Amino acid sequence: MARRKPSDSAFPAGVVLIDKPLGITSHGVVSKLRKLFDTRRIGHGGTLDPAATGVLVLFTGRATRLAPYLGGGAKVYLTTIRFGEATTTDDAEGDICATGSVPNQTYAGISASAERFLGYIDQIPPAVSAVHHEGERAYRIARRGDSVELKPRRVHIDAIDVLEWNPPDLVARVTCGTGTYIRSLARDWGEHLGTHAHVRTLRRERSGVFRIEDAITLDEIADRLQSGASYRELVTDPGAALVEALGDQTVLNPDDTKRFVCGNDVRDDSGELDTVAVLDASGTLLGVGERRSDGSLAPVVVLSAP
């Protein structure tokens, strides 16, 4: 029996955590999943370079509205950086454009040199990146052969743990905030040590509350659909993730649930002023609410239709 496709408006609201393969853009992953699920109501919560693998968070149905709340948070990357070579893209996809010496550093020395990049730093994105420059993506300008000078952006790096140092290659786990480019970190690290460097491999292990251990590949999704799995079986309810990301929740009684899903404010006596996950008495996620100073809880995102 053919699988019955829900309408776009009725497609299950949830999260699909993809282990992105090498060589495909984030939008390419979205396009493939749209074809597999036969719906347009899919979006991603933050891009990942084509040369990178790992966690890519996708939202389905009404849950696409949760991207601003679930697409952020700290990112964790496992990367291999090669010192002594620069490339045109700051990663292994580009051509080698400059060479230099390999740092004569001990493991302790190379680890200590990473401290220069901890905390808030001003970082210039790679020329081949999705950053906008004068109304156009930087990578399009660069691929035309035109030069592009991007402005530094303030980013935050929480930790750089050097796991291996086998010159010229270094393996590190980097924990950082949204907007940080590991390719820029590699480039700048090389310059800091008087040479060049670029990213050889990059894998995102965590994005906010989402971890690689819970991810699934596109091939696995295709196989499960072929075996008769329903769309709902492959889409994870976003409730637990939203509660973890926002750090708070409120549960509504049946009357307030009806008011909330119709877009109306409800009474909130918590005394708090924050943004919370809103659930009904059964634990079903209704959406996102904002606690206000007048003692009300205002709907910001509503997932459940009235």
Catalytic residues: 49
Distance CA 194, CA 94 (A): 21
Q: Mark 196-205 as b/e (b = at least 16 C-beta within 10 Å).
A: bbbbbbbbbb
Closest CA to 180 of 64, 44, 79: 79
- Spatial neighbors of 145 by CB under 8 A, at least 6 apart, are none
3-state secondary structure of 143: helix
What crossing angle do the helices spanning 26-37 and 218-226 adopt, rounded to 10°? 0
Residue 101 has φ and ψ, to the nearest 5°, of -75, 155
Distance CA 92, CA 89 (A): 8
Q: H-helix or E-strand containing 91? A: none
Please classify residue 93 by burial: count the beta carbons closer than 10 Å to its beta carbon, then call 0-12 exposed, 13-18 middle and 19+ buried.
middle
Distance CA 134, CA 136 (A): 6
